[in-house]
Structures are given as structure tokens and as C-alpha cells.
Amino acid sequence: SSSDRSAICASMAAQIAIATLSARLITGMRTAQKAQERLNTQLQFDLRIGRTVQSQIIHSTIPAFKAIDFRAAYEPMVEVSGDYFDYFRSHESLTIILADVSGHGVPAALITMALHYHFRLLSAQGLSLLELLAQLSEHMKPILPSGIYFTAQLVRIHADYSFTFVNAGHPKMLHYSAHRNELLDQYDTPGYPLGIASFDVREYSEISGKLRPGETLVMLTDGFAEQHNAAQEQAGAERVISWMSAALANPAAAIDAFLQSFKLHRGDRPNEDDLTVLTLHYNLRHL
């Protein structure tokens, strides 16, 4: 009947429409997949370029200062990092900065580029550590995107092996005696991370100490203490201290031993943050 033929035609038309729509969806999905692949390829290329550029401002080695040997390990979570360290040497002192920009990847890495420029520029002006921190804050705050901040610590080693130290929301600097196998002190000072509010020098302070033969200062970012293991346990500051205490039985190989302990804790989990650790060791062999 004509009604049956109409129903059959309507059914066939619906099936053709569905088939056409399906074909368009598949074509669209393939086009989107190819576009995503091109984007991923470009992104990986851009990240590799960023890593190459950033490697020019992150030193794999820091030359010895008098009898103090420096060692460092730097491991970005992705190709580029929000961790940053650098040094400035004068005739009478060596100043080191360790900073950690909030977030990860390209945005944080771009901030480290600006931080590097201003640290180098300001360090040449002979400022105290508090003055240097204040000027870094003043120069960086206008260029930080909303919600982005950074923690930082500065240490200055003088020719007589005394040091000065200032902190801005960063993990504590550790002071070990290698031959006594003892944690002597954990240095911290009042002060907020930079970029959150206008810098008020009254809220920060500078402290002094002395590095003696066989002793080591350790500077690190918070990625080690905040890393979870397979049981979802964070390493925590005390565990990090114990790893470094054991590792400093051999100061020359301390960072490798420390990283091995960290990796045993981490297991198969990926790194959850950028990682940086520095050691400043007063080497008895130089005496």
C-alpha cells in the first residue's frame, strides 16, 4: 500500500541521514585528531626549545668559592621548570638564589627568565640581601600574572666563611656537620612569598651564621617533601632531612645518594613538582 511505501521510504531516508551524520562525525573526529597531533608535535617542539633556552640560565655546575664546593641537581617535572637557581660572584663574597615559581611548565618557566634578568642586574649593585630581596619583589610584582607568586631564599658566603641568609616563604636551609653526622640547624626567617602583596621590609629579616670545615649547607625546593609514594604518603620534611643526613656521609656523592633515597620513596609514581637541591660544602681537602 502507499502508506507502507511511505513508511519504508521514511525509514530509508532516516537510515541514510544517520549514515551521513555518522560519516561526517567520523571525518570530523579524524580531522580533530590530526589537528591535535599537529598541535602536540608543535607543543613538544616548543617545549624542547624552551628547555634549551632555560638551560642557558640554569647552571649545571657552580665553580668553587675558596674552600667551598657546590653541587646541584635540577629536575623539571616537564621539559621546562618553575624552579630557578643562580649565583653572583664578587671579589669578597658569593651570593646564591634559589626560587620556586608557583605552577609548572611554560608560564612558570617564563617567570624564571625575568627573575634571572633582575637577579643578575641587581646583584651587581652591591645590595644587602634584604635590599636585594626587596628590589627583586618590586621589579617582579608588576609582571607576575594574577595569582602567580614565587618563594625564594638568598644566601651570601663571605671570604671568612661567615654567611648571611634571608628567606621568603621557601623551605628552610639546612646546616649539617658531615664528620659529626649531625644536623646543626635549620635556617628560616620571617617573610611571605613574593608577588602576593607589596613588599614590606619590616616583615622580613636577615640572619647570620658561620660555615666551618667539614660542614655543609643544603638548599632545596619543596618538591621533595611534597612527593607522594604508592601509599599516598608525602615524604615530609623530616624524611627529607634523614635522607640528606645519611647521604652526607660522603659529601662529594651526597646529592646522588639523596636522590636515590627520594626515588625509592617515589617508586613508580611520576614527579609531582619540579625538583632542585644544592649543597655548599666546606671541603677539608682545600685546607
Could you read off the pLDDT of 16-69 as tens digits, one per residue? 767 676 667 667 667 766 666 564 555 454 445 545 555 666 776 788 999 999
**Per-residue pLDDT band at 147 (split at 50, 70, 90):** confident
Contact 135, 68 (CB under 8 A): no
CB atoms within 10 A of CB 33: 10
Q: Is the pLDDT of residue 268 over 50?
A: yes
Per the DSSP assignment, residues forming a β-bridge with 281 are 69, 216
User: What's the mean pLDDT in 170-192?
Assistant: 91
pLDDT of residue 179: 72
Q: What percent of the chain is modeled with pLDDT above 90? A: 62
pLDDT tens digits, 213-249: 999 999 999 999 999 999 999 999 999 999 999 999 9
Give the mean pLDDT of the chain: 86
Q: Helix 254-266 vs helix 236-247: angle between axes, to the nearest 10 degrees?
A: 140
Please provide the distance, in angstroms rounded to a whole number, between the alpha carbons at the two ends of the chain.
Answer: 110
Distance CA(187)–CA(240), nearest Å, equals: 15
- Please indicate whether residue 8 or residue 166 has the higher confidence score (pLDDT): 166
Helix spans in the chain (H): 2-55, 105-123, 129-140, 223-226, 236-247, 254-266
Q: How remote is the C-alpha of 31 from its chain's centroid?
A: 37
pLDDT of residue 45: 47
pLDDT of residue 107: 81
pLDDT of residue 170: 97
pTM of the model: 0.81
